């Protein structure tokens, strides 16, 4: 089963989690491709940025999407991407966000809600989701647990 991991990352946090997921899934023998969204223009405004890369989601049977939280919301880049994709046709999908603050109520939950709503509007079938809190004292064990949980869900 082909898995696409589509990630937007500015300072590398979300990319780190995406790479860990990629390693975990490929070590289990699944064909995984990680694609990074690149933007030009103003990355703080979904209406003033241009997506340089447009991953072809039809190549994948399952999707994992990852984004940072920006200003208590989903990043404008991931928002713009999800608004532009064609129907996901009930494709099994996982969404995750990373945020600086240690608690999910400090923007993570809201960003994830926005992301899952956009996926569902595109007829994605949400299997699981996660918020990763970068300044949480137990960040690394938390990431390990989340990667384990999401990896199991995506192959079910």
Which spans of this chain sit near ligand FMN (rule: CB under 6 A)? 9-15, 68-72, 98-101, 106-107, 134
The CB-of-134 to ligand FMN minimum distance in angstroms stands at 5
The CB-of-50 to ligand FMN minimum distance in angstroms stands at 18
What CA–CA distance (Å, rounded) separates 8 from 78?
7
Q: Confirm if 7 and 75 have CB atoms less than 8 A apart.
A: no
The CB-of-11 to ligand FMN minimum distance in angstroms stands at 3
**Short-list 1, 127, 132, 5, CA closest to 78:** 5
| Nearest CB to ligand FMN, comparing residues 135 and 152 | 135
Q: Where are the alpha helices (DSSP H) in the chain?
A: 13-27, 76-84, 108-121, 139-154
| Nearest CB to ligand FMN, comparing residues 28 and 45 | 45
| Nearest CB to ligand FMN, comparing residues 91 and 97 | 97
What CA–CA distance (Å, rounded) separates 104 from 91?
26
The CB-of-72 to ligand FMN minimum distance in angstroms stands at 4
């Amino acid at each position: 089963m082909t898995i696409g991991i589509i990630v937007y990352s500015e300072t590398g946090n979300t990319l780190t989690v995406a790479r860990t997921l990629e390693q975990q899934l490929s070590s289990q023998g699944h064909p995984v491709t990680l694609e990074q969204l690149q933007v030009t223009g103003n990355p703080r405004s979904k209406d003033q940025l241009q997506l340089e890369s447009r991953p072809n989601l039809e190549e994948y049977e399952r999707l994992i999407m990852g984004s940072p939280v920006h200003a208590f919301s989903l990043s404008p880049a991931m928002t713009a991407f999800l608004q532009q994709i064609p129907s996901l046709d009930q494709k099994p999908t996982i969404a995750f966000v990373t945020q600086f603050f240690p608690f999910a109520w400090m923007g993570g939950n809201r960003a994830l809600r926005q992301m899952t709503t956009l996926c569902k509007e595109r007829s994605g079938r949400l299997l699981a989701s996660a918020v990763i809190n970068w300044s949480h004292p137990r960040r690394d064990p938390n990431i390990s647990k989340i990667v384990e949980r999401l990896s199991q869900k995506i192959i079910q």
